């Protein structure tokens, strides 16, 4: 029997896994309809969002996959050479137009295990499943897909953690520099560290308010900023932190979509001109999918042409802010979007 703490851990893991399965997209590609349908049947009870694509054209499969924003690609080909060709084509295409992060699973027979392992070593696949004969290990496929989804989730969390650690290091460095400057002041008498940090918080200001006065009370609204410009991200970080928002950042449209599909945000601030997937592409995706169709989005862009603004609003943007903008203008747009009065 599991201890209470271990049981809670299992419950949390199962809940997280079920949520990931619900929101994750699995794309099954193959040239044999019967095989693809069998794979689909094995997965449909575990995963809600399954896409089947049957074609002998690698180009067609590549195109359909790029539109799916899938998390996992299952290569259900009897010929591993075709599977490798598709995976390599997707990789080469991603060098020109970045795709959202995904994992690749190849199905193979026992006689093809060595070849599958070679493909893994060449980074053309992330995992392989001995699928033929079907009785060899009928549960392995579901397990492998789950592991691929978990891997994506943990990778995303790790990236966010690294960003937070970097921000923390910067804060610590600033505090250390300030303390050393104070200590070097003539006539300085050494207080304890708590007093020094308290003084630091009182002196260091954000837009005229001390850090100490800006500690949020109660739950914060969660805002995702999708912008490839580091300066703009820094400006928005400072502005939004001063208003007590919890902020996450994505540097391109693909990463932004990936974060939105894994976490619900109260508001998205979206740039238009980004490499790879543009802000308009992101908007079109959001409005095509039921999980994100109502997500409040404010466009922040240097594009001021009427046609662009109208297109964004037609796609359901809650507001449009032209760079450069004033603090007052942006905050008013944000308040309006969060109140649902768009």
Look up residue 179 and give its two tokens.
């303390």
> What's 131's DSSP letter?
E
Which CATH architecture describes the domain 216-338? 3-Layer(aba) Sandwich (3.40)
Mean pLDDT by 10 residues, the chain (342 residues): 48 44 86 94 91 93 89 94 93 77 92 93 92 73 91 68 65 69 60 52 46 52 90 85 87 88 89 89 85 85 88 91 88 89 62
Cα 215 versus chain centre, distance: 27
Of 277, 190, 185, 263, the closest CA to residue 223 belongs to: 263
In this prediction, residue 75 carries a pLDDT of 96
Q: Which of 335, 290, 333, 339 is nearest to 312 (CA)?
A: 333
pLDDT of 68: 87
- pLDDT, position 87: 92
Q: Could you say which of 2.40.50.140, 3.40.50.300, 2.40.70.10, 3.40.50.2300 is the CATH number of the domain covering 4-153?
A: 3.40.50.2300
Q: What is the pLDDT of residue 268?
A: 95
**pLDDT value, residue 10:** 41
Cα separation, 146 vs 298, whole angstroms: 34
Termini Cα distance of the chain: 54
- Predicted pLDDT of residue 208: 43
Q: pLDDT at position 275, please?
A: 86
Which residues are CB-neighbours of 95 under 8 A, at least 6 positions away? Answer: none
Burial of residue 25, with CB atoms counted within 10 A of its CB: 0-12 exposed, 13-18 middle, 19 or more buried = buried
- Domains of the chain, by residue range, sit at 4-153, 216-338
Q: Give the pLDDT confidence score for residue 99 in this predicted structure.
A: 72
Asked if 4-153 and 216-338 have one fold, the answer is yes
């Amino acid at each position: 029997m599991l201890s209470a703490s271990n049981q809670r851990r299992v419950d949390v893991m199962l809940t997280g896994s079920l949520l990931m399965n619900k929101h994750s997209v699995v794309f099954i590609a193959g040239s044999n309809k019967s095989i693809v349908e069998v794979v689909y049947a094995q997965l449909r009870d575990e995963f809600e969002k399954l896409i089947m694509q049957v074609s002998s054209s690698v180009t067609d499969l590549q195109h359909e996959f790029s539109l799916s924003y899938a998390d996992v690609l299952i290569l259900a080909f009897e010929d591993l050479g075709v599977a490798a060709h598709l995976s390599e084509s997707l990789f080469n295409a991603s060098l020109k137009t970045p795709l959202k992060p995904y994992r690749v699973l190849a199905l193979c027979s026992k006689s093809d295990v060595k070849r599958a392992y070679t493909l893994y070593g060449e980074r053309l696949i992330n995992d392989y499943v001995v699928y033929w004969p079907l009785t060899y290990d009928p549960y392995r496929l579901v397990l492998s897909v789950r592991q691929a989804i978990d891997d994506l989730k943990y990778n995303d969390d790790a990236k966010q953690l690294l960003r937070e650690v970097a921000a923390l290091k910067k804060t610590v460095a600033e505090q250390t520099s300030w303390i050393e400057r104070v200590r070097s002041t003539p006539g300085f008498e050494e207080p304890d560290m708590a007093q020094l940090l308290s003084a630091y918080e009182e002196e260091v200001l954000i837009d005229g308010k001390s850090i100490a006065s800006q500690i949020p009370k109660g739950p914060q609204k969660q805002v995702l900023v999708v912008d490839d410009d580091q300066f703009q991200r820094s400006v928005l970080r400072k502005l939004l932190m001063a208003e007590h928002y919890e902020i996450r950042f994505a540097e391109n449209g693909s990463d932004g979509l990936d974060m939105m599909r894994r976490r619900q945000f109260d508001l998205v601030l979206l740039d238009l001109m980004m490499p790879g997937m543009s802000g308009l592409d992101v908007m079109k995706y959001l409005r095509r999918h039921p999980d994100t169709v109502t997500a409040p989005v404010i466009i922040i862009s240097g594009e001021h042409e009427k046609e662009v603004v109208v297109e964004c609003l037609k796609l359901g943007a809650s507001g449009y802010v032209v760079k450069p903008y004033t603090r007052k203008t942006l905050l008013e747009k944000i308040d309006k979007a969060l109140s649902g009065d768009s």
